Amino acid sequence: MLQLITQSLVKISDENEPIRYASGVIVEYRGYDFLLTVSHATGDAGKWSIQLESMEDQGSLLYGLGQMGFLKQYTFNLKRGTSKERDIDFSYKLLGEKVSARYQDFRSDGGKIVKVVDEAKLTVASDLSQEPHVDAEYGFWGLTRQVYEPGTQHLAIVPVCVGPMDYIKVNEHTDLYQFRLPQKDQQKGIAEYENCSGAPIFDRDGNLVSLVVETDQRTRYIYGIRLKKMRSMLDVEIDMHQNDSF
């Protein structure tokens, strides 16, 4: 089921070639659809898109995201008159319309590309208040890379499915959750998770609790963003959209 929720994100060069990849999720929050992901993947102001579907004769169909939103945290020391800023590893886009992407799997059959899986991806309804706890198990699905052959115009996903993970703790300073990889995944190299950044992390009941931020190569922990702290920015985005609509 997780493969039907994770959105595949693609950065396109000026020559319309795919050059970078990431993961994300579309969340219905307060009646509005947002694409949520992480800024270290998409914060380079490039041309990022959601991969909608691939067609045998026409290549891959993409949905351009345009300008995305990013966050910074400022800490002020009034006594010293100084301030510090920190980038929050989170990015988002209020979608102006329903985006219908599909999960597809292609196989080569006698030199011909054949579609063997074709299912609609899902939008997650959430108030983003759910936080992980130590008595539950968690998992995520992301893409490790995409296979692209110039001239074919097809992007074929190479996925990774991780779970069950244990929740360890939250760092109150960085607002990152810490999860422990299952034993079967602890020996994988960092490259195995390279483009999973932004993939949604769920519990077994289907509650969205976080987005993948990074993997610690030494400890084999997965770190995820604390979505509960991101709601205020999405609220501001909704309020601005409503005011513009009047």
pTM of the model: 0.87
pLDDT (tens digit, 9 = 90+) per residue, 110-156?
666 677 788 999 999 999 999 999 999 999 988 755 555 545 545 55
The correct answer on CATH 2.40.10.120 for the domain covering 2-245 is yes
Cα→Cα distances 138→83, 103, 133, Å: 37, 21, 10
Q: Is 157 exposed, middle or buried (0-12, 13-18, 19+ CB in 10 A)?
A: buried
Looking at per-residue pLDDT, the higher value among 231 and 162 belongs to: 231
Cα separation, 65 vs 47, whole angstroms: 8
Angle at 157 between CA 155 and CA 161, to 5 degrees: 170
CA angle 183, 134, 91 (to 5 degrees): 85
pLDDT per residue as tens digits for the range 23-56: 999 999 999 999 999 998 888 778 999 999 877 6
Task: List, for residues 88-118, the tens digit of each pLDDT value.
Answer: 899 999 998 999 999 887 766 666 667 778 8
Look at residues 143, 187, 180, 177 and name the one whose alpha carbon lies nearest to residue 21: 143
Locate the domains of the chain by residue range: 2-245
Local structure of 100: helix, strand or coil: coil
Q: What 3-state DSSP class applies to 66?
A: coil
Band the pLDDT of 237: cuts 50, 70, 90. Answer: very high
